[in-house]
Amino acid sequence: MKTIAILTSGGDAPGMNAAIRAVARTAIFNGLRVMGIRFGYDGLINGDIYEMNVSSVADIIQRGGTILGSARSEDFQTEKGQKQAFQILKDFGIDGLVVLGGDGSFKGAKVLHDMGVKVIGIPCTIDNDMGYTDSTIGFYTAVNTVTEAVSKLRDTSSSHGRANIVEVMGRRCGDLALYAGVSSGAESIVIPEKPLDLESIMNKIKRGRKRGKLHHIIVMAEGVGRPYVLKEKIEEITQVDTKVTILGHVQRGGSPSPHDRLLGSEMGNRAVKLLIDGQSGLAMAYKAGKIIDVSLDDAIETPHILNEELYDMAQEISI
């Protein structure tokens, strides 16, 4: 192992830069050359690659996004694109690759592993939809961002006696809505893993009004869809003025939390050590407070499971 490369793929996540920094610095510390690939698998196919040094990753641990740029590559889905990527890795003399991203990025990493490239994956997504790891890099920063936004909405919601539906990201996974909903003290949490209980939402609003409560926050995962339909229903049944806020890509940015910086640093460091050991086809995971590795197959195939205890608890403490 003489030269390794890093790429970031899919939706960016706060903490990716901490992982890039750790990969680059660990590689250099251990006498390896390190290359940065710009814009994910697209950049790999196009040979958009540059050599990194210690300074290339200076002053980035606190920055959201990814200094390498990211993309969801359509070309890499094709056999032609995959063969081209393989050839580029050979042409640049890259012996090992670290892929930072979510599910789709790991599937790409697995394709390269099967072609004989030494690859390690690092889980980065604000969705936390990868069941094999307790948390993905970026998730807790996004939970913070949503929690702060909901606190601000609560201020104005209380002033006007309104209800607020806050739509949060997460694709088909409700984790961001659930964890941020609990953290922000939301009255209702609506996630795709559970049926929409309209009666419970309406009853909570009515009960709250009776005891003089001036706000009602509903955190809704984007995977459920149709927040404006819910708004109409609430206004029709409870007569409470209801606003919809779609937080959107704000949730993907911002300075990473210490947890995500730690995950990025530890996973990046370990990924390079695995490559130096000649290992491949592995994904880094955070399990019960420890950084471990599992096969890329397990990482891709392990379904995400809802934290039922947390969901049930949220019902009890948001009456």
| Residues annotated as part of the active site | 127
Q: According to the binding rule CB under 6 A, does residue 126 interact with ligand F6P? A: yes
**35 vs 143, beta carbon nearer ligand F6P:** 143
Q: According to the binding rule CB under 6 A, does residue 125 interact with ligand F6P? A: yes
Residues in binding contact with ligand F6P, number by CB under 6 A: 10
Tokens 């955070």 map to which residue?
286
* CA separation for the pair 11, 171 (Å, rounded): 11
* CA separation for the pair 150, 319 (Å, rounded): 18
* CA separation for the pair 226, 290 (Å, rounded): 39
The amino acid sitting at 12 is D
> Under DSSP, is residue 234 helix (H, G, I), strand (E, B) or coil?
helix
Tell which one of 21, 38, 154, 252 touches ligand F6P (CB under 6 A): 252
**192 vs 208, beta carbon nearer ligand F6P:** 192
Map residues 63-102 to x or -, x wherever contact with ligand F6P holds by CB under 6 A.
Answer: ---------------------------------------x
Segment interacting with ligand F6P, rule: CB under 6 A, options 40-48, 113-121, 123-131, 192-200: 123-131
We find the least distance from the C-beta atom of residue 136 to ligand F6P, in angstroms, to be 10
Q: According to the binding rule CB under 6 A, does residue 127 interact with ligand F6P? A: yes
Q: What is the dihedral of CA 39, 44, 49, 54, to 10 degrees?
A: 70
Q: According to the binding rule CB under 6 A, does residue 169 interact with ligand F6P? A: yes
We find the least distance from the C-beta atom of residue 72 to ligand F6P, in angstroms, to be 6
**12 vs 187, beta carbon nearer ligand F6P:** 12
Q: According to the binding rule CB under 6 A, does residue 145 interact with ligand F6P? A: no
**169 vs 299, beta carbon nearer ligand F6P:** 169
Cα first-last separation, the chain:
58
**List of residues 6+ apart from 289 with CB closer than 8 A:** none
Segment interacting with ligand F6P, rule: CB under 6 A, options 58-66, 119-127, 264-272, 275-283: 119-127
Distances (CA, A) of 180 to 15, 47, 205, 230, 261: 18, 40, 20, 20, 19
For residue 226, the tally of other CB atoms under 10 A from its CB is 12
* CA separation for the pair 15, 255 (Å, rounded): 8
* CA separation for the pair 161, 45 (Å, rounded): 54
Q: Hey, what are 94's tokens?
A: 């890259």
Segment interacting with ligand F6P, rule: CB under 6 A, options 14-22, 166-174, 191-199, 239-247: 166-174
**10 vs 208, beta carbon nearer ligand F6P:** 10
**List of residues 6+ apart from 80 with CB closer than 8 A:** none
Tell which one of 6, 8, 11, 49 touches ligand F6P (CB under 6 A): 11
Tell which one of 170, 192, 264, 281 touches ligand F6P (CB under 6 A): 170
The amino acid sitting at 184 is S
Q: If you compute the radius of gyration of the chain from its CA atoms, what whole number of angstroms results?
A: 22
Tell which one of 171, 206, 213, 304 touches ligand F6P (CB under 6 A): 171
Q: CA 251: distance to chain centroid?
A: 10
Segment interacting with ligand F6P, rule: CB under 6 A, options 38-46, 59-67, 122-130, 290-298: 122-130
We find the least distance from the C-beta atom of residue 239 to ligand F6P, in angstroms, to be 33
Using CB under 6 A, list all residues that contact ligand F6P.
Answer: 11, 102, 125-127, 169-171, 222, 252
